């Protein structure tokens, strides 16, 4: 494949993912058709099926891209923080803000478990955002900021559930709610840090 064909192919896929994200986020999986996606992306249906076996495969790629985006957002603006506990807390705040985007929220928390099953979503989550959380917990434990006698995987599972529930309950939708959930989660982390 020539370089120009490779670039066109990559661009076509990018446009399909962008169109799929917007349409799945606005209309949901069932109400979004492949002709709608192809038209919004400015490609033929044949091009859509060249990249993705079917609508479900495109949706799975959109979900994966959402998780990868969240993973990047978790690390946004925390490089200057040296305290591993603060890095963990700030990363969680970033997750709640980014995951509270209405499109992200619908794709990951409403449509995803139905289309990809809860197990499929758990696998993707474990490879991205929960992995980041686990790494943050382990770094805080290694630095003596969190107790090392609490299994890190158990703590990651529990706190991942707390973050996801905060997003599902709409706690990141407005500034007042974001501040209240931020305060609650900080209390949990600082309470645990006193046990270290």
- CB distance 34 to 48 below 8 Å: yes
- Spatial CA neighbour of 70 closest among 129, 20, 21, 127: 129
Each residue's pLDDT, cut to its tens digit, for the chain (196 residues) gives 555 777 888 999 999 999 999 999 999 999 999 999 999 999 999 999 999 999 999 999 999 999 999 999 998 877 677 899 999 999 999 999 999 999 999 999 999 999 999 999 999 999 999 999 999 999 999 999 999 999 999 999 999 999 999 999 888 888 888 889 999 999 999 999 999 9
Cβ(103)–Cβ(21) below 8 Å: yes
Q: What is the DSSP string of 70-100?
A: HHHHHTTT-TT---HHHHHHHHHHHHHHHHT
Q: Going along the chain, which residue ranges are E strands?
A: none
- Which DSSP letter does residue 6 get? H
- Entry pTM: 0.90
Q: Is there a contact between 182 and 93 (Cβ–Cβ < 8 Å)?
A: yes
């Amino acid at each position: 494949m020539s370089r120009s064909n490779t670039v066109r192919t990559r661009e076509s896929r990018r446009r399909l993912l962008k169109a799929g994200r917007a349409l799945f986020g606005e209309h949901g999986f069932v109400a979004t058709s492949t002709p709608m996606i192809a038209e919004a992306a400015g490609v033929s249906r044949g091009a859509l099926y060249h990249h993705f076996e079917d609508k479900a495969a495109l949706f799975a790629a959109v979900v994966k891209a959402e998780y990868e985006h969240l993973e990047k957002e978790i690390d946004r603006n925390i490089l200057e923080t040296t305290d591993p506990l603060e890095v963990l807390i700030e990363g969680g705040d970033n997750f709640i803000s980014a995951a509270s985007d209405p499109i992200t929220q619908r794709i990951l928390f409403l449509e995803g478990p139905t289309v990809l099953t809860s197990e499929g979503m758990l696998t993707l989550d474990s490879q991205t955002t929960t992995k980041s959380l686990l790494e943050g917990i382990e770094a805080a434990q290694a630095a003596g900021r969190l107790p090392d006698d609490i299994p890190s995987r158990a703590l990651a599972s529990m706190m991942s559930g707390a973050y996801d529930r905060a997003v599902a309950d709409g706690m990141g939708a407005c500034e007042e709610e974001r501040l209240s959930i931020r305060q609650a989660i900080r209390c949990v982390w600082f309470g645990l840090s006193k046990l270290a």
